[in-house]
Structure 1
């Protein structure tokens, strides 16, 4: 089975989908483990070489190799040979860059719920150095959306 976005095709066999009709489940199947998300986070922060990811994450080499292979296979990362010809580099694809909003939502949830009041943590800022405002889901009229004001329309 090939899952298609308007920019990338992701090849995953039908047996590997946890819930074939649910976009959340498919996304979690592709990038839902902690190491994959942290690799994507670090790629967004400029990591590109195996050693960059290994040093930043302290991840076992075999686990990192597996996650980089999967993220490349799933179209989240692209693998290229460095100009020196001696190592591979990894860059985010369009699909990988599209995870920015997901990463922002996870970050902001963590800021609200994973730290005690007053506990220090990193802060995401824009190009001007301003703290990125809270992400808000809104409907077409600008009214805030919640799990109580939305519903899932199942595929037929």
Structure 2
């Protein structure tokens, strides 16, 4: 999607950027996840994105398995773009990015609040240690080699 690959990067962040790392991509997913947008015209109206870019992003999401195309009209032939489980699984990442934006990129109060649809209570994204619980200090988080790291990339 980016027009550039990160072949030299052995990192899940780089892999994710290949699929959703372009500005319009995250906004399209946001509108689908939280705004219920499904139709090309919905995305076009809400975002004002150029039609060629929107088509490219939606086609890429279908190819990557984030969305699926579903025909909702025979005459004229029209499709909607429905999130898959893979696409809906981006919701926590979007909430985390929004929280970061609320703190560091927005003046005043948050423009959007996320709530639990069942009870109405606010939703937030947190980093949690399986042993200690919530981790509040980023300095306490370290990256270590995981089982998916190719052996040739591990320094002796």
Q: Cα RMSD (Å) of the superposition?
A: 2.0
Higher relative contact order (CA 8 A, sep 6+): 1
- Paired with 1:25 and 1:60, the residues of 2 have a C-alpha distance of 25
- Paired with 1:16 and 1:95, the residues of 2 have a C-alpha distance of 21
Residue 152 of structure 1 aligns to a residue whose secondary structure is coil
CA drift at 1:107 = 1.1
Q: Is 2:30 the partner of 1:58?
A: no
- Paired with 1:112 and 1:63, the residues of 2 have a C-alpha distance of 30
Q: What is residue 143 of structure 2 aligned with on the other side? A: 151
Asked whether the equivalents of residues 19 and 25 of structure 1 are also in contact (C-alpha less than 8 Å), the reply is: no
Asked whether the equivalents of residues 19 and 26 of structure 1 are also in contact (C-alpha less than 8 Å), the reply is: no
Which structure 2 residue ranges, 5 or more long, are not aligned? 152-156
Q: What is residue 63 of structure 2 aligned with on the other side? A: 73
Asked whether the equivalents of residues 18 and 29 of structure 1 are also in contact (C-alpha less than 8 Å), the reply is: no
Q: Which has the larger radius of gyration?
A: 2
Q: TM-score scaled by structure 2? A: 0.80
Residue 54 of structure 1 aligns to a residue whose secondary structure is helix
Q: TM-score scaled by structure 1? A: 0.80
Alignment coverage as a number of residue pairs:
140
**CA deviation map 1:71-129 (0-9, x unaligned):** 111111101101x223110011111011111111111111111112x245121122233
CA drift at 1:138 = 1.3
